Structure 1
Amino acid sequence: MKTIHNLIQGSAAWHQHRATAHNASDASAMMACSPYKSRTALLKERATGITPEVDAATQARFDRGHAIEEIARPLAEAFIGDDLSPVIGTTDDGYLSASFDGLTFCGTIAWECKSWNESKAQVVRDGQIPQADYWQCVQQLAVSNAQKLIYTVTDGTPERTVHATLLQSDVVDDRAALLAGWEQFDKDLAAFDPGAESPAPAVAAPVESLPAVVVQVNGALTVGGNLEDFGAALRTFIDRIPKKPSTDQEFADAEAATKALKKAEEALAAAEDGALAQISDVEVMRRTVADLKNLARTTRLATEKLVAAEKEARRTEIVTGAQAQLDQHVQALNQRLGTNWMQRVAGGFGEVIKGKKSLANMEDAVAVALTNAKHDINVLAQRLEANRKHLVQADGDWIALFADFATVGAKAAEDFQALASLRIGNHKQAEAARLDKERERIRAEEAARLEREAAAKAQQEAEQERLRIQQQAQQEQAEIAKAQQAGTLAAPVAQDLAGLVQDKAVEDVAGIDAQQAIAAAQTSAAADDGQTMTLGQLNARMETMGLGKISAATLEHHGIPFTKERAAVQITSGNARRLMLLLSMGYRKLADELQAVAA
């Protein structure tokens, strides 16, 4: 909100306030857009406190403007639909000030009134604010925070009253540019040296008139006159022309000299024509006149070219100097950012000096353009800096995803944050998928490695087991052969045992306990009392023990001798025990095979 000041216009307190405040009425001059006051003149006024005296004519114009304002206020109130009161206000920090021709009670609408001017009226009819008053209106909106400003050009009559509307929402960027302009103005004011100020507008110094050219022709064909004196004066005059003008004053003097030389050319031609009208050609006179005319002309042309060249050099110097300052500013900002995200900015200074005749006006226009350009790139640097900081998050710095940061980093904060969220999210998803794929690859490789190692270990163990079984079979066969040679093991039993051992060795099945089998076989042979039993009796005992039944085919398979009496199969008790031994070893072999298959 603004701060209202209870000041009476024209009072000492009012003048004191205006002398120290950043006034809206000075905004156009500060921005070098005022046709009435240059930026340099405003700097001088603020630095010295000396303001131009108001003469009677100017005061009369001011008084008429105030009178028109009072007459036009009801017309503006009717247009707005609300009452208006003239007030003086500042921003809360007191930095900006504005005098309002009118402000509504609620402060939502401001009014600025200008006396009738047809050229301004035409701009307003086109819906615009004249450039000379635009920055004043922007500052009024900045001070008041009004929603809109009504700009009126009028002579107090309805017929010659036009309005234009400037919305607060239309001047957001220009408010920032205005503030940057005042801040630069304060810096220039602090460095302003009144003793080194620019001279007054250049006016050509009075040019010493060359003597009149007189050529007389007497009857005796004698040529008189003052050509020699004129030639000496002309040469002296030429020597005083600035050889390399560098200031507005020297440029003005040189340009005035060219005009005097032009007149000298014309005077010489006229004198020659006058002499020729009196007498026929006099060779010496004509050569002298021709030489002097040529001297005046060539010097004039050379001076004109020199003036044009030096003016162009000074224009170039002003423009390139401003561009160099802007380049240095960009470089300093890049150093602050830590990288060259900001590219070189063309200040467009050549455009702003177009149509400017004096160096002072060029310098003022370029100074404002430079301030505006610095402000724009400062805003860009702040945006880049803020967006860069946004990329440093709790889970890391994501700048690697923004190779185009110099471009996208210039986006508004909301737009950039949305883009950053999208890129970071996509990267995280892609990275998660990559890590999952990598983990799956590692898991598969590990599983394959373990499988290879397990297979190699199983193969190694199987080979070791095969060698062990072969060694065990050899030992068992040796023991069986030894028992047979000692007569403690019957040949049929020995053969059965040897065959079983061989089968198990070939099939890589764990060996039988040879000592236990030999002992069992020897016990069976020793206990053979020659008694017989039928196959039915043997099956009955096996079924009682849950061992199932056998048939004569089983006896034949194992080579067990038997007899038949009355269709009953009979075997001796010793052969029955031999059969049980063979069956038990067969069951053991089968159990070992089943264990091997399960493994």
Structure 2
Amino acid sequence: EAILAGWKRFAEDLANYTPRPDEYEFVGVAPDRLPALHVAVSGRILASNIAEWRDQTLEILAGIPRDLHTDQDFANAEETIKWAKDALDRIVVVKDAVLSQMPDVEQMFRSLDDIGEALGWTVKDLDGLVKVRKDNIRLEMVQKAAESVRAHYDALAQELGAYAPTMPSALLAELGASIKGTRTAKAAAAKLDSAVAQAKIAADKEANRLRTAQRLFADAAARVGVDLWPDGPTLAKTMDEDALLGVIARRVNAHRSQGSRPTAKASKTLTLDAICARIAPLGITKAGLAQLGFAPLPDGGYLEADFPKICAALVATLQSAAKDEVADAA
């Protein structure tokens, strides 16, 4: 059933297919390349204990405990923080002192810092804009997909009226979840196409079930001559076919029991076997009689007075089947 529904949906989508442009797929172009960055330096440091200072500092840092339990541990940690900050300040002082003795190097570093800051802000700004645009693109794609499903439900509503299926309230969220993890717009579009197809298949399946229910109520109303199911759409959306047949039979029996008091002849009953014997070589089951609108009495029998109506309902059913066969052949 699922395979047939999928092929039916594919055929309908193919018949209505128009090529979709890659409206969200673009190849980026970066600014012109910058010239190669190079620096020529001539000079050397005359005296320094930086290597020893580094080794001693790293050794101390490696031995600092991280497992703190007692108040003494926390007090030691606070003093260590102050010690580390003081060391950081001394590093900055030394770097500034060195650069002050080499004005050209200091100017170069300041220029590099200015360029680095400008580049950093540009990356941060553009990255935020790109992220917002990508999020908006995905939202647009999900909304277009939802509109396609909504149009399908609208078409079913025009056909079935009150018996039309109701679009799931969580549809937008489900479509959004279907593209979670996709990296490109093309991949997201493929996922959404599949999700839309599945949503339409589910709508068609529910519509077929509701058409059957609508036909059951209409056929029963035609046999009885009155519509006893004003709440048919609600019943159809909450009950399966067997339950609907039971409702139809109960209301038909109740309607008939409210008519004129049966005569002595009318009060006579027939068993299912007796009915089958009368209509031989044809036959019928209790479920078949219920579908025709005739439910059994408490004792399991059927009213003698209803036998002509049963025959008329059988004739009408056979004539309808014959007309359908002729129409199909044509």
Structure-2-length-normalised TM-score: 0.51
2:179 corresponds to 1:350: no
Residue in 1 aligned with 2:160? 337
Displacement after TM superposition at 1:323 (Å):
0.9
Partner of 2:194: 368
Per-residue deviation at 1:333? 1.2
Change (3 A) 1:289 1:381: same
Describe how 1:450-489 pairs up with structure 2 within 5 A.
none
1:328 aligned to 2:151? yes
Could you report, residue by residue, the CA deviation over 1:78-108 in whole angstroms, capped at 9, with x for unpaired residues? xxxxxxxxxxxxxxxxxxxxxxxxxxxxxxx
Query: Is 1:383 matched up with 2:212?
Result: no
User: Which structure ranks higher in relative contact order (CA pairs < 8 Å, sequence separation ≥ 6)?
Assistant: 2
Change (3 A) 1:366 1:217: same
Alpha-carbon distance between aligned partners in 1 of 2:116 and 2:129, rounded to the nearest angstrom:
20
CA distance in 2: counterparts of 1:403 and 1:286, whole angstroms: 78
Aligned pair partner of 1:400 in 207, 222, 230 = 230
1:419 is aligned to 2:243: yes
Pairwise mapping of residues 206-285 of structure 1 onto structure 2 (< 5 A)?
208-214=32-38, 279=102, 285=108
Please say if residues 180 and 371 of structure 1, whose CA atoms lie closer than 8 Å, have aligned partners that are also in contact. Answer: yes
Deviations 1:463-491 (A, max 9, x none): xxxxxxxxxxxxxxxxxxxxxxxxxxxxx
Cα distance in structure 1, aligned partners of 2:100 and 2:107? 16
Q: Is the 8 A contact 2:100 2:106 kept in 1?
A: no
Alignment of 1:170-209 (within 5 A): 172-188=1-17, 191-192=18-19, 197-198=21-22, 203-205=27-29, 208-209=32-33
Following the alignment from structure 1 to structure 2, what is the Cα–Cα distance between the partners of residues 199 and 334?
Answer: 32
**Residues 278 and 336 (structure 1 numbering): CA distance in 2 closer, same or farther, change over 3 Å?**
farther
Residue pair 2:153, 2:165 contacting (<8 A) in 1 also = yes
Letter in 1 for 2:246: L
- The CA distance in 2 between the partners of 1:205 and 1:197, in whole Å, is 20
Separation in 1 of the partners of 2:25 and 2:254?
Answer: 70
In structure 1, the partner of 2:46 is none
SS of the equivalent of 1:288 reads: helix
Once the two structures are TM-superposed, the CA of residue 284 in structure 1 deviates from its matched residue by: 5.1
Q: CA deviation at 1:319?
A: 0.9
What residue number does 1:430 align with?
254
Give the 3 Å change call, closer, same or farther, for CA 425–199 of structure 1 in structure 2: closer
Q: Per-residue CA shift, 1:536-589, capped at 9, x if unaligned?
A: xxxxxxxxxxxxxxxxxxxxxxxxxxxxxxxxxxxxxxxxxxxxxxxxxxxxxx
Structure 2 distance, partners of 1:206, 1:338, is 56
CA distance in 2, matches of 1:187, 1:401: 36
Question: Aligned pair 1:303/2:303, yes or no?
Answer: no
Instruction: State whether residues 181 and 368 of structure 1, in contact with CA within 8 Å, keep that contact through their aligned partners in structure 2.
Output: no
Where does the alignment leave 5 or more consecutive residues of structure 2 unmatched? 44-94, 262-330
Q: Does the 8 Å CA contact 1:198/1:360 hold for their aligned counterparts? A: yes
Tell me, in whole angstroms, the C-alpha distance in 2 between the residues paired with 1:308 and 1:207: 20
Question: 1:400: how far off?
Answer: 2.0
Contact 1:341 1:406 in 2 (8 A): no
Residue identity matched to 2:234: D
The aligned runs of 1:98-109 (5 Å cut-off) are none
Given that 2:235 and 2:244 are in contact with CA atoms closer than 8 Å, whether structure 1 keeps it comes out as: no
Aligned equivalents of 1:211, 1:408: Cα separation in 2: 73
Contact residue 157 and residue 165 of structure 2 kept, 8 A: yes
Q: Separation in 2 of the partners of 1:370 and 1:283?
A: 62
1:206 Cα deviation from its structure 2 partner: 6.2
- Counterparts of 1:202 and 1:302, CA distance in 2: 20
Matches within 5 A, 1:471-550: none
1:319 aligns with 2:145: no
Task: Tell me if the contact between 1:217 and 1:278 (Cα under 8 Å) persists in the aligned partners.
Answer: no
TM-score, with length taken from structure 1: 0.30
Contact 1:388–1:399 (8 Å) recurs in 2: no
Correspondence for 1:456: none
Map Cα deviations across residues 414-461 of structure 1 (whole Å, 9 max, x no partner).
Answer: xx1x32332122223434555579xxxxxxxxxxxxxxxxxxxxxxxx
Give 1:186 deviation, angstroms.
3.6
* RMSD of aligned Cα (Å): 3.6
Cα distance, 1:401–1:343 mapped onto 2, change above 3 Å: closer
Q: Any gaps of 5 or more consecutive residues in structure 1? A: 1-171, 220-271, 438-599
Q: Counting strand residues as a fraction of each chain, which structure ranks higher?
A: 1
SS at match of 1:397: coil
1:314 Cα offset (Å):
0.6
Shift of 1:199: 8.1
Alignment of 1:433-448 (within 5 A): 433-434=257-258
For 2:37 and 2:100, how far apart are their aligned partners in 1? 15
Contact 2:156 2:164 in 1 (8 A): no
